[in-house]
Amino acid sequence: MKIWLLDSGSLVIDQAHITWNIGCGNPVRFPVYSVLIQHEEGLFLFDSGYDLEHVKAVLPFELPEQTPEQTIPAQLALCGFQPSDVDTLVMSHLHFDHVGGNKLVPGARVLVHAREIAQARNCEPFEHFGYSDHGWDHPDARLVPISGDQEIAKGLHLYETPGHTLGHYSLLVAPEGAKAMLFPFDVTYTQDAWDRGLQPGFHIDPVAGVRAIRRVKALAEQHDAQVFFTHDMDAWGSYRHAPDFYEV
C-alpha cells in the first residue's frame, strides 16, 4: 500500500498546550496534516486538516497559515485523486484541526468513535474551541459510529487511546513483512512530548491520557514501528510530503 502525508498548513499555540503546563509564554508554530492510504480494500483518508475560514473566524489567535495548495482537494490532486475517490474517512477525533476538510469529501463513509460523536455534539465548556467546527456533522454525512480496537482493513489497526478526547483513536499501519508505522495523532503532539511522557494541555481525562501514552509506546515497541508525530514542525520537516509517499 501507498501512504501520503497531506499538508494542511500550520497553526500557533503556546508551548504549555503542547507539553501540559510546561513552557508557558512560548508560542510555537506547528503543522497540521492528514494521512492518505491507498489500500487494496479502498482509499482511506485519516483526518482532514482545518478549515481556514473557520479558524480565521473562530480561532484567529492561532494565526493560521494555509495556502490554496494546502487544502484537501489540492493535496488529493497532487496524489492523482479527486475527493470522490475517497471511500472512507477515519477520524482520530473531532477537533477542528482534524475535521476541516470533511465537507469537501462528501461521498465517503466516516468512521468515528461513537463516544466522540456524542461528546463533540455536547461538549464540556472547556472543550468549546476544540470542537468548534461542526462541518463534519451535516445531513448527508455518512457517519459510521465505531468503538473498541478495530482492524478496519488488512493491516490498518485503530487503537482506542482516550484522554485527549473521549473517543480518540490512534492508527497502526502494520502490513505483514513490512516496517510498521504508528500515528498516535494527539496522544502526544511532538517527539519531545513523547520522550518526556507529556500529554497536550487540551484533554478531557489526563489520567486516561497518561495510559494512552503508555499504550502507544508499547505498540511502537511491540511492532518496532516508526512513529509519526502529528504537531511537530521539526519532525514534519523530516517526513515525506505528498506527492512523495511511503510504500509498505
Residues lying near Zn ion in the complex (CB under 5 A) are found at 95, 186
Minimum distance between the CB of residue 202 and Zn ion, rounded to whole angstroms? Answer: 6
C-alpha cell at 164: 485527549
State how far the Cα of 171 lies from the Cα of 144, in Å rounded to an integer.
17
C-alpha cell at 69: 495548495
Q: CB-wise, 186 or 232, nearer to Zn ion?
A: 186
Q: CB-wise, 17 or 223, nearer to Zn ion?
A: 17
Q: In this structure, are residues 3 and 246 in contact, taking their beta carbons and an 8 Å threshold?
A: yes
Please state, as a whole number, how many other Cβ atoms lie within 10 Å of the Cβ of residue 138. 11
Q: Is 97 a catalytic residue?
A: yes
Question: How far does CA 22 lie from the centroid of its chain?
Answer: 23
Q: CB-wise, 169 or 246, nearer to Zn ion?
A: 169
Minimum distance between the CB of residue 148 and Zn ion, rounded to whole angstroms? Answer: 21
Cell numbers 482493513: residue:
153
Helix (H) or strand (E) holding 28: strand 27-39
Q: CB-wise, 98 or 103, nearer to Zn ion?
A: 98
Q: CB-wise, 11 or 180, nearer to Zn ion?
A: 11
State how far the Cα of 241 lies from the Cα of 239, in Å rounded to an integer.
6
Minimum distance between the CB of residue 139 and Zn ion, rounded to whole angstroms? Answer: 25
C-alpha cell at 148: 473498541
Minimum distance between the CB of residue 186 and Zn ion, rounded to whole angstroms? Answer: 4
State how far the Cα of 203 lies from the Cα of 185, in Å rounded to an integer.
13
Among the listed residues 7, 97, 133, 186, the single catalytic one is: 97
Minimum distance between the CB of residue 165 and Zn ion, rounded to whole angstroms? Answer: 6
Any residues with CB less than 8 A from the CB of 168 and at least 6 apart, and which?
Answer: 92, 93, 113, 116, 160, 161, 162, 185, 186, 187, 212
The residues carrying an active-site annotation are 97
